[in-house]
Structure 1
Amino acid sequence: MSGPETVDRVLMTAAVVMIVVAGALLLVRISRGPSMLDRAIALDVCAAVIIAGLGAKSGFARDSFYFPIMLVLAFLGFTGSVGIARFIAVRDKPLPRRRSEGKEGQR
């Protein structure tokens, strides 16, 4: 192997190691997340980590087979995040104030 190929291989290996570490930390956040929103964000990041892993695999193999799959996963991750955010926004909607409470606060 030549010098640039060695550097390329080392950088790809470092990228895969960082993706694996990110996945491990992500599993910790999903299991220990104190709120539902933390878990929802972790699942969104999970989609990004999977996409990054597929990108690294494509880089190692020098094959563009996984690019359409990465695109579909990105779309599903985005729509899932929007759906979860809307669900949480409706669930955590503040209760309307009564008129008598509002008038007392103005005095």
Structure 2
Amino acid sequence: MSGPENVDRVLITAGVVLVVVAGALLLVRVSRGPSMLDRAIALDVFAAVVIAGLGAKSAYARDSFYFPIMLVLAFLGFTGSVGIARFIAVRDKPQPRRGSAGKGGRG
């Protein structure tokens, strides 16, 4: 192998190590998350970390086999995030106060 190929391998290996560390920290956030929203966001970021890991594997092997899988995972992560956001928005919708319709603070 030549010098640039060695540099590529070292950088890809360092990227894989960072992806693994990020995945481990995200699993800790999923297990300990103080709220359900924190857990949902951590799972969404975990999907992005899996996509990054597949991209690193694809770059290391110099093979484009995983690109369609990465695309499908990105789509699933996006739709999951939108679904969670809609669920949280409906659940946390502020309720109007009773008896305050005619009592304006101004005027």
Band of TM-score, shorter chain: over 0.9
Equivalent position of 1:81 in the other structure: 81
Equivalent position of 1:70 in the other structure: 70
Partner of 2:20, secondary structure, is helix
Equivalent position of 1:42 in the other structure: 42
Summarize the Cα distance change of 1:7–1:93 in structure 2 as closer, same or farther, 3 Å threshold.
same
List alignment gaps of at least 5 residues for structure 1.
none
Summarize the Cα distance change of 1:96–1:19 in structure 2 as closer, same or farther, 3 Å threshold.
same
* TM-superposed deviation, 1:96: 1.1
* TM-superposed deviation, 1:99: 3.2
Matches of 1:42 and 1:98 in 2, distance apart? 37
What letter corresponds to residue 81 of structure 2 in structure 1? S
Summarize the Cα distance change of 1:9–1:79 in structure 2 as closer, same or farther, 3 Å threshold.
same
Q: Quick one: percent identity of the two aligned structures?
A: 85
Equivalent position of 1:8 in the other structure: 8
CA deviations on 1:62-95 (whole Å, 9 max, x unpaired) are 0000001100100010000000110011111111
With normalisation by structure 2, the TM-score equals 0.92
Summarize the Cα distance change of 1:19–1:97 in structure 2 as closer, same or farther, 3 Å threshold.
same
Summarize the Cα distance change of 1:27–1:102 in structure 2 as closer, same or farther, 3 Å threshold.
farther
List alignment gaps of at least 5 residues for structure 2.
none
What letter corresponds to residue 39 of structure 1 in structure 2? R
What letter corresponds to residue 54 of structure 2 in structure 1? L
What letter corresponds to residue 49 of structure 1 in structure 2? V
* TM-superposed deviation, 1:104: 7.2
Which structure 1 residue ranges, 4+ long, deviate > 4 Å from structure 2?
Answer: 104-107
